Amino acid sequence: MLLNASSTELPPPEHLAAIGRVFARFDRQDSGNVSFGVEADGRRWFVKTAGDPAVVAGVHSHRERVGLLENAERLASSVRHPALTRFETSLASPWGPMLVYQWADGEHLHARRERRNDPDTAWQRFLSLSVEERVAAAGTLIHLHLALSAAGWVVGDFYDGCLIYDFRHRQIHVCDLDHYRQGAYENEMGRMFGSTRFMAPEEFERGRIIDERTTVFALGRTLAIFLGDFATGVCAAACAEAPEHRYPTVAALAADFAAVAGRLNVPGQ
């Protein structure tokens, strides 16, 4: 029932409750989006919406949130990868598009600053895994971004809040790439959306160009945070302050990272 419909006249909470069991609601996002975990048709799904247009919430207007969801649908339709939460369909609703994804088992890795060093968080438990397991996760993220870059997608607002880790199966999943854009683009904001721990210098200056070298920087920061000193050479080359001094492409970064991963006999993807 969830996948067969193309639209509903009911607001998303009522529509989902009518066709299945809503077991989770995510409505405290900085973006203002409202999402749901729902069990329907014998399976579990993640349904993302722009929220109630009558409610003012988050850093984006409702119209902006709708635009970002439409962008997320374009990305999910253009790139299929095992690490991406799998997009199935979208439904038109009074709240705008409802994006339906397969549910990804695991734990959200993002921890707020005040809990970032708490050993009980998923984030710290992930960092406590063996270096082989963390290298494998990093390799998966690089492999995903090879596919994204090949399709023309450039990073935007990528950070640990986009990551889900399944500790049982040692698998990493990526979600919420709504701010990625196709092709190089100009920073029109000044300080762009994102976590400073993952952001390149050009994401803080209006008029700078955001391109594949910005994606390289975000991946380099991810490697540094995931792996500490293990891949310092790759991180240094990826995170040079001047874009022209970085790896020019994700593929170039991936090649050097594969050599590093090979020291542990871990596939560099």
| pLDDT for 117 | 81
Q: Is the pLDDT of residue 267 over 90?
A: no
Residue 77 tokens, joined: 């339709």
53 and 62 Cβ atoms separated by less than 8 Å? yes
Interatomic CA distance for residues 15 and 73, integer angstroms: 20
Using DSSP's 3-state secondary structure scheme, residue 153 falls into: strand
Return d(Cα 178, Cα 180) in angstroms, integer. 6
Euclidean distance between CA atoms 3 and 261, whole angstroms = 40
Task: Round to whole Å and give the CA distance between 103 and 75.
Answer: 18
pLDDT of residue 266: 65
- How wide is the angle at C-alpha 164 spanned by C-alphas 174 and 213, nearest 5°? 40
- Please identify which residue in the block is written with the tokens 């994401």: 203
**40-57 tens-digit pLDDT:** 989 999 999 999 999 888
Question: What integer pLDDT is reported at residue 114 of this predicted model?
Answer: 77
- The percent of residues above 90 in pLDDT, for the chain, comes to 85
Angle of CA points 158, 162, 168, to nearest 5°: 140
Q: Is this model's pTM higher than 0.85 or not?
A: yes
Per-residue pLDDT at 213 exceeds 90: yes
